[in-house]
Amino acid sequence: MMQTLWRNARLATLAGAEPWGWIERGALLTEGDTIVFAGNDAALPAGLQAGREVDLGGALVTPGLVDCHTHLVYGGDRAREFERRLQGASYEDIARAGGGIRSTVAATRAADDATLFAAARERARTLMREGVTTLEIKSGYGLSLEHEARCLRIARRLGTELPLTVKTTALSAHALPPEFDGRADDYIAAVVDWLPRLHAEGLVDAVDAFCETIAFSPAQTRRVFEAARSLGLPVKLHAEQLSDQGGAALAASFGALSCDHLEWLSDDGVRAMAAAGTVAVLLPGAFYFLRETKLPPVAALRAAGVPIALASDHNPGSSPGLSLLLMLNMGCTLFRLTPEEALRGVTVHAARALGLRDRGTLAAGQRADFVAWDLQHPAELAYWFGRNPCRRRIVAGAQADA
Ligand code: NIG
Ligand code: FE
């Protein structure tokens, strides 16, 4: 198979003991879709004859970015709801009055496949232009078997039509659809019934739920997780976003890949996640946009050795942003992550939150997804905002600009 030598790169490998896994005079050798060498160019095999050589011109190179939590497929927008919040209504008030997620459900059901696909494709391309090479997409705005399946099919199609890996998550337990008003337990029974069918069609890589006073209880969440477990599917959870429901400990007891949001996470929750190896996915975009003030317990997560990831949480209600780099900046300014933690949070730890071990660092054996940036130092990735320094995006060993 043809080898490509990518020369003249300054590598933040995120592997090894050095801060950033830094290699000043770096080179990468790829074969097909795999990295076969990542290191100092002086350590390249003598007499190497690669089929192709690319001079990266001294660019900073990092692993491809992984956005491990998005709700990318939906109809409409919630700009009017934003306006109402600025006139005094809270996110919970709007949700209780039947707006919020439910208004997006109505707009999603009313939109045809082509419209949903085109809008989601443009959102994905915006993320990709800033270096995203792997993207998680949740359902959760269909809330019926037909519409959940439709949204997950559209997510899968993005992964086949764009140079991008897409991981799909079934989040049917996101909100109660109007036809189940006052019958949350019946809705959970329906979700449990849909899951095997969605899975049989190959539409589900993981199962998620929204465990919150305005959504589903821990007991209801448990029923969804039991259904996932009986299908051999991994779980994740929207946990402790607006209150402490003990959701993280529940998810950890199911070996969850990740718990996400976590502003109200307790010490018990931290311990349970550490013991289960569950990744903490922090979502500074939603924290910022909902003007939350309770900070996720970053120091306790660090002390317990819980891997921390960052994601865009792109959705029309609580985080209508399409810049993962802005999340690095916000992760540092709002949550006091270090720039290196922020970069690990959108690469190696984000990959782990999706159950992926084949990406997130630059090392032999890893998938050849990487990004060349017009930057000198990797701390700049978290420092600038409103600027796109992505110069080249390499996916599975081939240049694939968005
Ligand atoms: O991750 N927390 C629940 N779900 C989304 C928001 C969904 C919406 O408001 O449409 C989130 O923040
Ligand atoms: Fe979310």
pLDDT in tens, 198-229: 999 999 999 999 999 999 999 999 999 999 99
10-residue block means of pLDDT along the chain (402 residues)?
Answer: 95 95 98 97 91 97 99 96 92 85 96 98 98 98 98 98 98 97 97 98 98 96 98 98 98 98 98 98 97 97 98 97 98 98 98 98 98 98 98 97 82
Ligand 1 atom 3, closest CA: 210
Contact 367, 348 (CB under 8 A): no
Ligand 1: which atom is nearest the Cα of residue 290?
12
Contact 98, 293 (CB under 8 A): no
241 Cα: distance to centroid of ligand 1 (angstroms): 10
Backbone dihedral region of 355: left (phi > 0), alpha (psi from -120 to 50 degrees) or beta?
left
Q: Tokens representing 391?
A: 């110069």
Phi then psi for residue 171, to 5 deg, are -115, 55
Cα–Cα dist 217/267, whole Å? 20
Helix spans in 76-175 (H): 79-86, 91-96, 101-110, 113-129, 145-161
Type of residue numbered 334 = L
181 Cα: distance to centroid of ligand 1 (angstroms): 19
- Strand-pairing partners, residue 169, are 138, 206
Q: Which residues contact 208 (CB under 8 A, 6 or more apart)?
A: 138, 140, 169, 170, 171, 173, 174, 235, 236, 237, 238
183 Cα: distance to centroid of ligand 2 (angstroms): 23
Q: Which residues contact 138 (CB under 8 A, 6 or more apart)?
A: 69, 70, 71, 168, 169, 170, 171, 174, 208
Residues belonging to the chain: 402
Q: Which of 189-208 are b and which e, b meaning 16 or more Cβ less than 10 Å from the residue's Cβ? A: ebbbebbeebbeeebbbbbb
Between strands 279-282 and 308-310, the pairing is parallel
Ligand 1: which atom is nearest the Cα of residue 313?
1
Backbone dihedral region of 18: left (phi > 0), alpha (psi from -120 to 50 degrees) or beta?
beta
Q: Which residues contact 229 (CB under 8 A, 6 or more apart)?
A: 235, 254
Cα–Cα dist 3/335, whole Å? 42
Contact 322, 312 (CB under 8 A): yes
- Strand-pairing partners, residue 221, are none
Confidence (pLDDT) at 99: 84
Helix spans in 245-397 (H): 247-253, 267-276, 284-289, 298-304, 324-333, 339-345, 348-353, 380-383
- Spacing of C-alpha 369 from chain mean position: 16
Cα–Cα dist 397/5, whole Å? 10
Q: Would the pTM count as exceeding 0.95?
A: yes
* Torsion sign (Cα): 320, 322, 324, 325: negative
Ligand 1: which atom is nearest the Cα of residue 241?
2
- 3-state SS, residue 18: coil
Type of residue numbered 386 = G
- Strand-pairing partners, residue 12, are 22
Cα–Cα dist 200/194, whole Å? 10
Residues with CB under 5 A from ligand 2 (ion): 313
210 Cα: distance to centroid of ligand 2 (angstroms): 8
From 213, 216, 238, mutation site for ligand 1 pocket: most ligand atoms within 8 A of C-beta:
238
Contact 180, 215 (CB under 8 A): no
Cα–Cα dist 356/337, whole Å? 23
Confidence (pLDDT) at 47: 87
